[in-house]
């Protein structure tokens, strides 16, 4: 375990060793499945973001913004009908949780975190206080969280829960959020909503003992005084559980970043970057290949995050029928093929000590990880004219060239040079990284 100053408690080794998790955003918004693919959070101008929100799971908010393209789309395509009609049309008739989880596991994920209630307030279980406005009584007519939890744990993965504590457009009715500077105007802070949210999180803990308690958008001010008791109850129930940082600075076992936002959090002692395969978390039918990661992009993202000491929580957005979009499956299948021989260079590794070896962007692309017995160099995009030869800049004496071997079994030659280690091997010109293992001295 590693001491983490944000909460003052050790972060369980399972979480720091996991490196890769799968986020699942699935809801009534998967029926509309529409957003403008404007760009990544943290890159799009904040003055543009909400009116042209690329997050399909924010559809109910975006269609309430006057003059937004989503509002026009909702009027012309759906006749401006009430958002809750999407709940009844969401059938999940092809949902096969075991199929999902088998793919997640082969892709290298060690934990899975589904949305149990997003900002639209629709619960994916029979949540207390929701009446029939949940997936047990309407739409899919099943406890989607229980079904997924069972499949995840049957595959020996860790199971977490996402809960939108700070925003609920139904139980905590507010005008639409128009700008990040006015985000707090869209958040319910009254005691009644605080009690409602508190009761639902306790119910999730009691039902599922989740390994990750992943809150979003803060917590109502009227309920802040109750959070210490909630966290104590959670840790008593799940001693190896972890809590994220989105509780309005009340508590955190680890910090989070999202796409390009909050990147300063990536230098904490324990952190997690999250993003979708495209620009949206919820399934967005308007996204094309130009908006999506390809398998090499996803692998490089994972390797980069791990090389800097973080975890990657990569999101999938299922369709309303319960199938994973083929484009998203293809990314995970590509990761699975790569992980089949490279996982040891990812799971249970740590970054190299500062100054030991240099990462590099461009041609070539290089990242580093290590475990107790080995150091791993990830290499991609070696220029054709280099003839498969690349110099890995390292501290003198760090690596023994005689121990170099490729994890995929292909041949590699290594020799000491003035700047570190020179390696020669075929196939290093591709964007998909190749891991080369060295025994530590």
Q: Where in the chain is the domain with CATH 3.20.20.80?
A: 2-345
Q: How confident is the model at residue 246 (pLDDT cuts 50, 70, 90)?
A: very high
Q: How confident is the model at residue 3 (pLDDT cuts 50, 70, 90)?
A: very low
Name the nearest CA neighbour of 317 among 272, 278, 273: 278
Give the pLDDT confidence score for residue 1 in this predicted structure: 39
Give the pLDDT confidence score for residue 89 in this predicted structure: 98
Kindly list the distances between the CA atom of residue 10 and the CA atoms of 67, 68, 176, 227, 253, in Å, as whole numbers in the listed order: 49, 46, 39, 19, 8
Mean pLDDT of 185-195: 96
Give the pLDDT confidence score for residue 7 in this predicted structure: 67
CATH classification (class only), 365-439: mainly beta
Give the pLDDT confidence score for residue 47 in this predicted structure: 96
Global confidence as pTM: 0.97
CA 189 to chain CA centroid, Å, is 27
Measure the CA–CA gap between 60 and 70, rounded to whole angstroms: 9
Asked if residue 115 has pLDDT above 80, the reply is yes
Q: Where in the chain is the domain with CATH 2.60.40?
A: 365-439
Q: What is the largest CA-CA distance in the chain?
A: 70
Asked if residue 4 has pLDDT above 60, the reply is no
CATH topology of domain 2-345: TIM Barrel (3.20.20)
């Amino acid at each position: 375990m590693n001491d983490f100053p944000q909460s003052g408690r050790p972060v369980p080794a399972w979480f720091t060793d996991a490196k890769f998790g799968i986020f699942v955003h699935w809801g009534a918004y998967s029926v509309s499945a529409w957003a403008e693919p404007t760009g990544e959070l943290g890159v799009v101008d904040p003055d543009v973001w909400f009116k042209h929100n690329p997050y399909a799971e924010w559809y109910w908010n975006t269609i309430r913004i006057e003059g937004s393209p989503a509002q026009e789309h909702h009027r012309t395509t759906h006749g401006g009908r009430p958002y809750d009609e999407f709940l009844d049309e969401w059938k999940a008739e092809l949902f096969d949780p075991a199929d999902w989880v088998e793919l997640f596991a082969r892709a290298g994920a060690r934990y899975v975190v589904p949305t149990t209630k997003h900002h639209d307030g629709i619960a994916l279980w029979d949540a207390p206080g929701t009446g029939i406005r949940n997936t047990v009584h309407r739409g899919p007519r099943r406890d989607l969280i229980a079904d997924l939890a069972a499949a995840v744990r049957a595959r020996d993965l860790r199971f977490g829960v996402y809960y939108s504590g700070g925003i609920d457009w139904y139980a905590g009715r507010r005008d639409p959020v128009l700008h990040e500077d006015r985000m707090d105007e869209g958040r319910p802070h009254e005691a009644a909503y605080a009690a409602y949210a508190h009761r639902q999180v306790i119910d999730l803990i009691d039902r599922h003992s989740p390994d990750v308690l992943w809150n979003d958008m803060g917590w109502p001010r009227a309920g802040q005084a109750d959070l210490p008791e909630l966290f104590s109850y959670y840790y008593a129930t799940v001693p190896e559980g972890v809590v994220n940082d989105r509780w309005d600075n009340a508590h955190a076992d680890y910090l989070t970043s999202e796409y390009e936002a909050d990147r300063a959090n990536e230098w904490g002692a324990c952190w997690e970057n999250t993003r979708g395969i495209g620009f949206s978390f919820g399934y967005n039918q308007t996204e094309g290949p130009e908006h999506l990661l390809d398998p090499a992009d996803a692998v490089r993202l994972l390797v980069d995050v791990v090389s800097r000491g973080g975890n990657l929580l990569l999101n999938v957005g299922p369709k309303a029928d319960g199938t994973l979009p083929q484009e998203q499956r293809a990314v995970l299948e590509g990761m699975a093929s790569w992980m089949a021989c490279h996982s040891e260079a990812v799971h249970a590794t740590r970054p190299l000590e500062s100054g030991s070896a240099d990462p590099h962007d461009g041609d070539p692309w290089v990242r580093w990880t290590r475990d107790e017995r080995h150091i791993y160099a990830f290499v991609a995009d070696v220029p054709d004219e280099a003839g498969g030869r690349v110099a890995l800049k390292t501290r003198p004496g760090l690596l023994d060239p005689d121990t170099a071997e490729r994890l995929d079994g292909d041949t590699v030659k290594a020799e000491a040079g003035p700047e570190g280690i020179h390696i020669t091997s075929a196939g290093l010109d591709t964007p998909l990284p190749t891991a080369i293992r060295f025994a530590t001295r």
